[in-house]
Amino acid sequence: MNRINTISGDSAEFVFIRHGETEWNLENRMQGQLDAPLTEKGRQQADALAARLSRAGLTELYSSDLGRAWQTALPIAAATGLKPVAAPQWRERHLGIFQGLDPAALQAKYPQEWAKFMTWDPDWRIPAGESSVDLRNRLEVASREFGARHPGSRIGIVTHGGVLDMLMRMALGIPLVEHRRYSLFNASLNAFTWRKGGWRLDTWGDISHLLEIGSGDNRSVAARSL
């Protein structure tokens, strides 16, 4: 991934990296802020990311403190020589009582809550978890904090599908109530530029480094899989 623009002193470029494939990704379980280990493919994906990012010119490396993200970040750190910093601000959305269950189990155990979730009401908070608005508000604070902290830099952040979905919506003004019509690939590179006015999307869903090793995303997506 090459630089698209020269970064000015009042902006920063962020390369958001989705973690590698996990056991629960394969099972379409809702991970949220619980964790599942990377699969063998996920570890291969992390190594491919590391090779790609070794020449990407990153100046900082952050990772969600959830295990699947941190496990993805460690090979990147080794390849770039950057010390990874845990950043809980970029955790996945907390999915409360849904965490650890697949859609079929959710519909059986929590039919009313699942039906409400599938209305995409952005203000509805999953019991013991976060709403879409909660996630957006958290990321807005993180965006301002990290943008101000690293002007003129190129920052790598290992994060999660729900976070990437929200960043896309923030950058392009997609309403939270609108169903997602774009893919979220494991171990993808997604570049954004931050300025005080907000995010600009530069690159989305780049997985060319995975195709080279024959270890692309499994493309298995549940109705609203996070």
**58-109 pLDDT per residue, tens:** 999 999 999 999 999 999 999 999 999 999 999 999 999 999 999 999 999 9
**153-167 pLDDT per residue, tens:** 999 999 999 999 999
How far apart CA 98 and CA 39 sit, in angstroms, is: 22
Amino acid at 75: P
Residue listed under structure tokens 């995975």: 210
**105-146 pLDDT per residue, tens:** 999 999 999 999 999 999 999 999 999 999 999 999 999 999
At residue 4, the pLDDT reads 42
Tell me what the pLDDT averaged over the chain comes to. 92
**196-219 pLDDT per residue, tens:** 889 999 999 999 999 877 766 555
**Based on the number of CB atoms within 10 Å of its own CB, is 209 exposed (0-12), middle (13-18) or buried (19 or more)?**
buried
How far apart CA 144 and CA 149 sit, in angstroms, is: 8
Residue 169 has pLDDT above 50, yes or no: yes
Neighbours of 208 (CB within 10 A): 12
Closest CA relative to residue 117, chosen from 128, 105, 131: 131
At residue 138, the pLDDT reads 98
Q: Domain boundaries in the chain? A: 12-211
Closest CA relative to residue 157, chosen from 123, 199, 120, 98: 199
Kindly list the distances between the CA atom of residue 185 and the CA atoms of 29, 39, 102, 182, 216, in Å, as whole numbers in the listed order: 16, 15, 19, 10, 8
**Partner residues linked to 18 by β-bridges:** 159
At residue 10, the pLDDT reads 81
At residue 222, the pLDDT reads 39
Catalytically annotated residue among 60, 92, 130, 209:
92
At residue 216, the pLDDT reads 63
Catalytic residue check, 94 = no
H or E segment to which residue 49 belongs: helix 40-53
User: What is the assigned CATH class of domain 12-211?
Assistant: alpha beta
At residue 212, the pLDDT reads 74
Catalytically annotated residue among 19, 150, 160, 209:
19
Residue listed under structure tokens 């962020």: 14
Catalytic residue check, 13 = no
* Residue 38 DSSP label: B
C-beta separation of 167 from 159 below 8 A: no
Residue 5 has pLDDT above 70, yes or no: no
Please report which confidence band the pLDDT of residue 225 belongs to, taking 50, 70 and 90 as the band edges.
very low
